[in-house]
Structures are given as C-alpha cells and as structure tokens.
C-alpha cells in the first residue's frame, strides 16, 4: 500500500484551506528577508504582518493565526519581541515556527536566545543542516549562516530536537521532516538548484510552514509547505533558467499552484526510524 497517498490528499486539502482562510501570520524575521517573506506569504494565500517590536508583540500574537520567528539579523528589540511572542503563542495555543539562523558558537548571542526560546515549545523548528546539527548538540563549523553539511547526514542526529517541537525540518538538496506524530522521517525531493541562490527562500519557507500550521495539523503543515515550495521551484525552472527571472517565476508559481499540479509533481517518501 502506498503510504504517501493519504498524505498527498491532506496536502491538497491544506493548500485549499490556506487559500480559503488567508491566515494572519506574525513574522519576526530578518531585515534581509522581510519583504520577500511577505511577498511569498501573499503569493501562497496567507496574510503577513511584520510586527517585531516588544511594545506590540503580545497583543498582536494573541490575534494571529500563527507566528514565525527567524533569528537572521536580530536586534535588541527584536530579541525582546521574540521572547514575548513565543511565550504568548504558547499560552494562547498559537502555532509557531522557530528558524535558528546562524546557530552555533560563532554567533553566540542569537544562539543563546534560540536555546531560551525552546522552552516555549515551538510547533516546528526548521533550518539548514549545520544549524540543526548544532542545535542538536554537535560541534559544527558553519560558513556564516550557510550550511556546510548535507541534510541527509543530519536527520538522524536531529531526533533529540523532537523533545522541543512536533516537527523538525531540515533544508537541503532534499528536505527531511522529522515527525513526532508519525515517528518517521519524510524526505521531500524536487525544487530547483536556483532556490538557494535567491535571498530569503529558507526564511520564507519557515513563514509558510507557520501559515499552513494555522489551517492543518503540524505534520501536514510542515510537509505541505515543503511540497508547495518544491513543486513551485520545479515549475518555475521550466520557464526561467537564470537567477533573476527564476525569482519572479518562482513567486508566480507559488501563487498559481493548483491541486492537480501538486498531485502530479509532489515527490516525497516516508523513511521509518
């Protein structure tokens, strides 16, 4: 029996619900990514709000459908807002995603904040292989905020992170999603090699996971966001093979993606522990 068929149907349903509900997603993200993240969420059907100061954080998190926290270029006020919003999200049962950009010994200030944020039980932790390996307690020498490891090397190491979240998502040539609910790993293939060459695609993926968490359960949300990105990347490359034109085509593909295209192009498999 094909174990992916029921999941694929749930992905299609989640995609429909995202468009129908247009969930409000609070994004505390980095200065490099903010505009792109907002555009990606709009293209996919969600409603972004980049509320990232401590004076408005609590009230806004309470009315949000989901929260995305990204530590790409943290300021002092952003750090305060992250703590307030994460705490509020936990209290108010608002699903939230933690993206520990640059986690490691070199960028210790943000890394210590990431460790503190784990107490508020994010729904999903997502990042590249080096970030996830470091967060799991391994000594990793990263290249700035870029990964020096392959995602396929890391997903076994990352099991311990399920003590803090329902899902762990590791980005790479193939993406790996660790699901506490399924007690399994889901490998998502597809996408395009140009995606990492477009600024903030990973940051936007984290925000899209949050958006999907507002309309379905955490495992399906995480998988749906990755499939949405992977299929859109494939479709975009069919018409645009250079970085600049691909960037525009990718946004268009995120926006125009249909249920039939998801069913045709989605490529994922379940790897049991």
Binding annotation for substrate? 50, 200
- State the DSSP string of 213-240: HTTS-HHHHHHHHHHHHHHHHHHHHHH-
**Phi, psi at 43, each rounded to 5°:** -60, -35
- State the DSSP string of 139-172: ----BTTB--S-HHHHTTGGGGGGGT-SEEEEES
- Buried b / exposed e over 93-125, threshold 16 CB at 10 Å, is ebbbbbbbbbbbeebeebbebbeebbebebbbb
- According to DSSP, residue 251 is labeled H
Given a contact cutoff of 8 angstroms between Cβ atoms, the answer to whether 252 and 236 are in contact is yes
For the annotated binding site for ATP, the residues are 126, 171
For the annotated binding site, the residues are 50, 126, 171, 200
- State the DSSP string of 83-126: HHHHHHHHHHT--EEEE-TT-SSTTHHHHHHHHHHGGG--SEEE
């Amino acid at each position: 029996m094909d174990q992916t068929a029921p999941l694929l149907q749930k992905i299609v349903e989640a995609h429909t619900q995202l468009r129908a509900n247009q969930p409000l997603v609070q994004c505390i993200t980095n200065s490099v990514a903010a505009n792109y993240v907002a555009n990606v969420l709009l293209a996919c059907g969600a409603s972004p709000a980049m509320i990232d100061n401590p004076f408005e954080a609590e009230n806004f998190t309470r009315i949000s459908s989901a929260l995305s926290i990204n530590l790409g270029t943290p300021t002092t006020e952003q750090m305060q807002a992250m703590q307030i919003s994460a705490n509020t999200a936990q209290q108010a049962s608002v699903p939230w995603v933690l993206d520990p950009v640059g986690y490691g010994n070199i960028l210790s200030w943000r890394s210590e904040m990431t460790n503190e944020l784990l107490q508020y039980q994010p729904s999903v932790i997502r990042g590249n292989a080096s970030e996830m390996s470091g967060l799991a307690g391994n000594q990793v020498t990263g290249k700035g905020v870029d990964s020096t490891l392959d995602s396929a090397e890391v997903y076994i190491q990352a099991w311990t992170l399920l003590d803090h979240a329902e899902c762990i998502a590791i980005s790479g040539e193939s993406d790996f999603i660790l699901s506490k609910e399924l007690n399994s790993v889901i490998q998502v293939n597809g996408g395009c090699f140009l995606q990492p060459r477009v600024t903030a695609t990973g940051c936007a993926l984290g925000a899209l996971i949050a958006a999907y968490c507002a309309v379905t359960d955490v495992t399906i949300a995480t998988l749906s966001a990755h499939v949405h990105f992977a299929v859109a990347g494939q479709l975009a490359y069919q018409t645009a093979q250079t970085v600049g034109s691909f960037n525009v085509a990718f946004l268009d593909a995120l926006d125009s993606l249909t249920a039939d295209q998801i069913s045709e192009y989605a490529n994922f498999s379940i790897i049991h522990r």
